[in-house]
């Protein structure tokens, strides 16, 4: 990457036009840049707010050529954009994160191998591709979760398996006739909680991070994130940060990276593995970091822009404890199959509510339509208001 920051007025680009790219575009534009989005969907949330929207497939040579000619630097907003598209762009302009890091994050087997290389704790696991390998699976990986190594998100591409019979059936189900689909069996761990670290690393290795987020998932989808000082013990916090920094450094990572962790319940596994294990990484801003727009003096999206543009990084400071609630399409479909817009005015009458809608026109169950962040002077207040907001929307308490 060049040592001179990208000049204001230049165009920064992103592969993928979903909500992450949309919030990234807002941050880039507020720092004085133009934005370009490559996404085949004419109504993509980020395409709607960017100066340039290139509507082609991610590997389309014309689309990539146009991206390279317009942009001063390029990033990606989701890991399932082919790493090859990034590799092609990297021959012509700075790309952050780089294709090699994205390649690792795209594949649970490569990802786990990287974690093991870094010496960070992970769930006991085994990669499985052929039914013939099933007899070699150790008994103590069951009950487990069988996951495809590629293209899973929001809990898709996963099955819970309790017995060897279910494991065999799970492999058949996930492969769905395609023997090229590789799976990984992870031991199902007794979770006390989940948390994540969002960090940002510059081309010269300077690294900063958001305060640790604690996360509640429902049906494999992030539902609630809470952020406040003292959420985890200083020892656990330090361990999570050390793991996250090691993972990023050993990937030569540039850009925003999220590292997801499981916190283990007391018991034998915690005795052997320690208080936490790394689950997975996302090579981009992450849903659990959305709160930073409203709760921190530097958001994950601005951090991504600064990394790409070669601008300085400073340590983000949490100025308000907060709760983030995801707004899934289900909230639009509470009265049947015809979507009804929730009553936002009623919600915005509550103090410290920050509403973010992603401009998606079609509400579907499980689809991320927006989020809201509740900030307050202290965590008790933030939680109280967030619970009120959840009750108004029909989101179950956590």
Span 332-371, contacts to ligand ATP by CB under 6 A:
none
Cβ-contact 101, 203 below 8 angstroms? no
Q: Of these partners, Mg ion, ligand ATP, none, which one is at the site of residue 364 (CB under 5 to 8 Å by kind)?
A: none
Q: Of these partners, Mg ion, ligand ATP, none, which one is at the site of residue 154 (CB under 5 to 8 Å by kind)?
A: ligand ATP
Where does this chain touch ligand ATP (CB under 6 A) — which range of 80-88, 182-190, 230-238, 376-384? 182-190
Q: Of these partners, ligand ATP, Mg ion, none, which one is at the site of residue 373 (CB under 5 to 8 Å by kind)?
A: none
Least distance between ligand ATP and beta carbon 220 (Å): 5
Span 183-222, contacts to ligand ATP by CB under 6 A:
186, 188-189, 191, 194, 217, 220
CB-nearer residue toward Mg ion: 102 or 393: 102
- CA dist., res. 260 & res. 334, Å (int): 31
Binding pattern to ligand ATP, positions 130-159, x when CB under 6 A? ---------------x-x----xxxxx---
Q: Of these partners, ligand ATP, Mg ion, none, which one is at the site of residue 182 (CB under 5 to 8 Å by kind)?
A: none
Q: Of these partners, Mg ion, ligand ATP, none, which one is at the site of residue 220 (CB under 5 to 8 Å by kind)?
A: ligand ATP
CB-nearer residue toward ligand ATP: 188 or 364: 188
Span 263-322, contacts to ligand ATP by CB under 6 A:
279-280
Binding pattern to Mg ion, positions 251-270, x when CB under 5 A? ---------x----------
| Residue 329 touching ligand ATP (CB under 6 A) | no
Span 129-148, contacts to Mg ion by CB under 5 A:
none
CB-nearer residue toward ligand ATP: 188 or 367: 188
Cβ-contact 46, 17 below 8 angstroms? yes
Residues that bind ligand ATP (CB under 6 A): 123, 145, 147, 152-156, 186, 188-189, 191, 194, 217, 220, 260, 279-280
Q: Which residues bind Mg ion (CB under 5 A)?
A: 260
């Amino acid at each position: 990457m060049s040592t001179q920051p990208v000049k204001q007025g230049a165009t920064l680009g992103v592969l993928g036009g979903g909500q992450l790219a949309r919030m990234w575009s807002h941050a880039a534009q507020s720092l004085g840049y133009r934005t370009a989005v490559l996404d085949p969907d004419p109504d993509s949330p980020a395409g709607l707010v960017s100066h340039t929207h290139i509507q082609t497939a991610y590997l389309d040579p014309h689309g990539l050529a146009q991206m390279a000619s317009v942009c001063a630097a390029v990033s990606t907003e989701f890991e399932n954009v082919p790493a090859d598209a990034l590799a092609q762009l990297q021959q012509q302009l700075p790309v952050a994160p780089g294709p090699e890091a994205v390649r690792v994050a795209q594949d649970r087997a490569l990802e786990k191998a990287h974690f093991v290389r870094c010496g960070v704790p992970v769930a006991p696991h085994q990669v499985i591709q052929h039914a013939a390998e099933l007899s070699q699976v150790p008994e103590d990986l069951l009950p487990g979760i069988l996951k495809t190594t590629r293209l899973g998100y929001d809990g898709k591409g996963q099955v819970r398996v309790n017995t060897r019979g279910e494991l065999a059936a799970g492999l058949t189900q996930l492969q769905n006739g395609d023997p090229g689909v590789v799976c990984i069996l992870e031991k199902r761990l007794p979770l006390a909680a989940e948390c994540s670290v969002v960090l940002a690393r510059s081309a010269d290795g300077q690294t900063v991070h958001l305060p640790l987020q604690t996360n509640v998932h429902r049906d494999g989808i992030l539902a609630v994130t809470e952020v406040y000082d003292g959420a985890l013990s200083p020892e656990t916090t330090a361990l999570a940060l050390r793991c996250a920094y090691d993972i990023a450094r050993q990937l030569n990572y540039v850009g925003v990276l999220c590292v997801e962790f499981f916190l283990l319940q007391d018991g034998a596994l915690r005795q052997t593995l320690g208080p936490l294990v790394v689950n997975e990484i996302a090579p981009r801003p992450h849903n659990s970091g959305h709160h930073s727009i409203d709760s921190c003096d530097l958001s994950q999206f601005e951090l991504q822009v600064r990394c790409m543009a070669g601008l300085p990084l400073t340590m983000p400071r949490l100025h308000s404890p907060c709760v983030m609630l995801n707004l899934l399409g289900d909230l639009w479909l509470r009265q049947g199959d015809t979507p009804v817009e929730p009553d936002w005015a009623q919600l915005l009458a509550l103090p410290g509510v920050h509403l973010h809608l992603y401009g998606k026109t079609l509400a579907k169950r499980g689809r991320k339509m927006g989020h809201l962040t509740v900030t307050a002077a202290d965590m008790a207040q933030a939680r109280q208001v967030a619970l009120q907001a959840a009750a108004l929307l029909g989101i179950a308490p956590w």
